[in-house]
Structure 1
Amino acid sequence: MDKTQTIARLQLPNKKERHQLFGSVAPGPKSKPTEKSKMPDLQNIKKDFLFDLDVCGVSNIKYPISVKSILKPEVQTTIGTFRFSSTIEKTSKGTNMSRFMEQLNKYHEVGFTADFATMRLFTKELAERLEKPDAEIEVSFPWFYERRGPQSDLAGMNHANVTLRAVYDERKGYKFSGSLSVLITTLCPCSKEISEYSAHNQRGNVTINIDFDENFDDEFFDWKEALLEAAESNASARLHPVLKRPDEKVVTETAYENPRFVEDMVRLVAADLYEMDFVRKFEVICRNEESIHMHDAIASLTYDKALEEAGE
C-alpha cells in the first residue's frame, strides 16, 4: 500500500486579482501635464512669504563613502549619514529637494571621500546648483581603527563616531567644524580612595566638538586621530576589541593607576585640545554610565581661543 500522501496545493488568484482583493483599483483619468516644462513649480513661486529661513534642505540620507586615516585601515569604506541645506530668503517659497540628491549622486559615482577638499568643492557646487549664495553639508559616519592588545598584540577593530561639517558662503568663504565621540574606561577616584581594596569603574563616552582654524588642511594631518588620542590618552584605560588574560591584567591595572572623574576627563582633554593649533574653539563632554548608580555622571566645558586672543 502506497503510504505517500498527496498534499493539495492552494489555488491562488492571479497577481492582478490578488491586488484587487487587497484594495488596488484601476487608474483613473489623468488630465494634468506629464512634461516637466508644463508642470507648475510651486517651490519657485516668488512672493513675500514673511520670513527668511536659516535652514532648508534634506537630512538622514545614507550613502557609501570613503574615509582616509593615519591608522589602519588607512582607506576604508563606511556608511555616511548626510544632511544638506541652504538658507532661503523670504521672497522664495522653498528649495528644490531633488538637487541635493543629484549633487550627492554625482560625487558618489566617482567616490565620495569625507575630507576637506571634497567638502569644499561639494558645498560651492551645491550652492551654484541651488542658485543660492550659500550651502551646508554635514556627514556622520563610524570611523574604524585597529587596536591591538597591550600584551598579546592581537588585533581587532574599534570605532568612533565622527561628524564633519562644511559651510560655504559666497561672501564669507568657508567654515569647517567636526566632532568625534568615543567610548573609554574610567575608574572612580573616590571609590579607590575609600575602599580597602578594588574600585568601581564604568564605561564613559567622550564627545569632542571643534571649530577648525581657517587655514587648516587635512591632506597631511589626520584630525580624527588627534581627537581620538586626546580622548583615550586621558582616560583611565582604553577599550579593546580583543583581550586575553595578560591584556586584561594590563588594562585593569592601568585603570587603577589612572582614576578619573568626569570632571577630570573634560579638563584633561581640554588641555590637549588647547595645545592643538588647528583647533579654534572646542567643547568637551564626558558621560559615564555609572556601574553602582542608577544615574549617569556628566561634565562639559567650552573654550574659544578667539576670545582669548581678543583679551576677553
Structure 2
Amino acid sequence: MKNLNLPPKNERLKLFGSIKPGIKTKPSDKDTMPDLQNVKSNFLFRLNSVGITNVKAPVTVISTIEPKTQTSIATFTLTSSIPHDVKGTNMSRFTEQLELYRRKGFTLTFSQLSDFVKELSERLGQKDARLEVSFPWFYEQQAPKSFLTGLNYADASIVISYQHGQIVEKTVELTCTVTTLCPCSKEISEYSAHNQRGYIKMKAWLNDLYDESYDWKAVLLHVAQSNASAIIHPILKRSDEKIVTETAYENPRFVEDMIRLVASDLYEVSFIKSFKVECRNEESIHLHDAYASVTFDKTNTDWEDERD
C-alpha cells in the first residue's frame, strides 16, 4: 500500500475553501432576532395554502387484511391559509408537529389524523389546517389453486381538512392494479384475446357514517378487483396461471366497462358521499394507453343530470 503524505485535516479543509468564522454582529437569541414571517402589513392577497410538502416519515398502517399492522413510509403535505395582512407562516411549526406525532407513534387512523390537524391549526395560530398523506399499502394476495400467498401493494392517500373547529373534509384515494382483457379482441379473433395491466384510481369523499370499524382500503380494493377481468398475483404456479388466464377470458372489460362497474359499487357504499374513478390500461398491442373516468356526487338530488 502506497503511503500518502496528507496535510492535517484543518489544512485540507482550508485547501477546499473553508475559512475562519467572521465577527458576528446580528442577534443569536430567538427573542431578539427579527421575525420576517410575522410582519404585519397589506400583502395584497390571502393565501389558500402555505406550508411544507414532500416530507417523509415512518408511520403505522392498520388493515383488516394481512398484514394487519404494518410499518410504512408516508409522504406528507401540511398546509394552512394565511390572511392578506400576514407576510408568511412559521415553517418549523409544521415539522415540530410531525416530529411530535412520530415520537409517540404515528398511526394513520382518522382519529389520530383529525387530532393532528386540529393541533396543527392551534400551533400555527390559524383557523384552518390541511393534511395530505400518501403511502404504499401492502396486502396479502392468495393464489386461486395453490393458495400460495405473497404481498401486493396499492398506492393509498388520505386528506383531512380542519376549519373553524371542525373537520370539513375526509378524502381517501386508492390506486390498485388489475388485469383487463379486451372484449373487442375476444369478439373478432378466432382464438385468444389480448389483455393488459389496468390501473384503477378511486377517490372517495367520506360522509359521517364512516368510522374506524371500516377499512376503507380493503373496501376500495375489493371494488376494483371484483370488477376486473382478473386479479394481479405476486405468486402463481402453473395451476394458478390456468385459472387466472381463463378467468380473464370469461370476464372481458373495456376501460369504460371498468369505470361503470366500479362506480356502481362505490355508489352502494354507505359511507361514501361522492367519488371519482379513473381507469388506465397499458395496452399490449398499442403504444398508447386507454383511459376513462367518471365523477359522481351522491348528494346531488338531481342525479339524472349526472348521467347526461
Same fold (TM over 0.5): yes
What does residue range 68-107 of structure 1 map to in structure 2 within 5 Å? 68-107=62-101
Secondary structure of 1:308's partner? coil
Shift of 1:18: 1.6
Which of 264, 280, 286 is the matching residue for 2:273? 280
Read off the aligned partner of 2:187 and give its amino acid letter.
Answer: E
Q: Is the 8 A contact 1:123 1:135 kept in 2?
A: yes
Give TM-score scaled by structure 1 length: 0.95
| Mapped pair 1:270 → 2:263 | yes
Structure 2 partner of 1:16? 10
What does residue range 167-206 of structure 1 map to in structure 2 within 5 Å? 167-170=161-164, 173-206=167-200
Structure 2 partner of 1:290? 283
| Mapped pair 1:154 → 2:144 | no
| Mapped pair 1:141 → 2:135 | yes
- Of all paired residues, the percent bearing the same amino acid is 54
| Structure 2: distance between partners of 1:294 and 1:199 | 17
Shift of 1:29: 1.4
Q: Is the 8 A contact 2:209 2:270 kept in 1?
A: no
| Structure 1: distance between partners of 2:70 and 2:233 | 20
| Structure 1: distance between partners of 2:84 and 2:50 | 12
Structure 2 partner of 1:242? 235
CA distance change for structure 1 residues 172 and 75 in 2, over 3 Å: closer, same or farther?
A: closer
Alignment coverage as a number of residue pairs:
305
Q: Is the 8 A contact 1:175 1:214 kept in 2?
A: no
| Structure 1: distance between partners of 2:271 and 2:178 | 24
Secondary structure of 1:166's partner? strand
| Structure 2: distance between partners of 1:23 and 1:230 | 60
Q: Is the 8 A contact 1:273 1:282 kept in 2?
A: yes
Q: Is the 8 A contact 2:160 2:167 kept in 1?
A: no
Q: Is the 8 A contact 1:186 1:259 kept in 2?
A: yes
- Greater CA deviation, 154-163 or 21-30? 21-30
Which of 46, 52, 55 is the matching residue for 1:52? 46
Secondary structure of 2:187's partner? helix
Secondary structure of 1:151's partner? coil
Structure 1 partner of 2:56? 62
* Runs of at least 5 residues in structure 2 that lack an aligned partner in the other structure: none
CA distance change for structure 1 residues 309 and 14 in 2, over 3 Å: closer, same or farther?
A: farther
TM-superposition CA deviations, 1:87-119 (whole Å, max 9, x none): 110011010000011111111111101111011
Secondary structure of 2:64's partner? coil
Q: Is the 8 A contact 1:120 1:174 kept in 2?
A: no
Read off the aligned partner of 1:284 and give its amino acid letter.
Answer: V
Shift of 1:310: 8.0
Shift of 1:174: 2.9
Which of 258, 262, 270 is the matching residue for 2:251? 258
TM-superposition CA deviations, 1:107-146 (whole Å, max 9, x none): 1111101111011101110000000000001110000100
Shift of 1:173: 3.8
Read off the aligned partner of 1:35 and give its amino acid letter.
Answer: D
TM-superposition CA deviations, 1:239-263 (whole Å, max 9, x none): 0000111111110100000000000
TM-superposition CA deviations, 1:29-57 (whole Å, max 9, x none): 11111100000000000100000001001
- Greater CA deviation, 71-80 or 10-19? 10-19
| Structure 2: distance between partners of 1:15 and 1:201 | 63
| Structure 1: distance between partners of 2:54 and 2:196 | 31
Q: Is the 8 A contact 2:118 2:165 kept in 1?
A: no
Read off the aligned partner of 1:123 and give its amino acid letter.
Answer: V
Shift of 1:171: 5.5
Read off the aligned partner of 2:68 and give its amino acid letter.
Answer: E
Give TM-score scaled by structure 2 length: 0.97
RMSD: 1.2
What does residue range 110-121 of structure 1 map to in structure 2 within 5 Å? 110-121=104-115
Read off the aligned partner of 2:172 and give its amino acid letter.
Answer: G
Shift of 1:306: 1.2
| Structure 1: distance between partners of 2:37 and 2:134 | 29
Shift of 1:308: 2.7
| Mapped pair 1:303 → 2:296 | yes
Read off the aligned partner of 1:258 and give its amino acid letter.
Answer: N
Read off the aligned partner of 1:262 and give its amino acid letter.
Answer: V
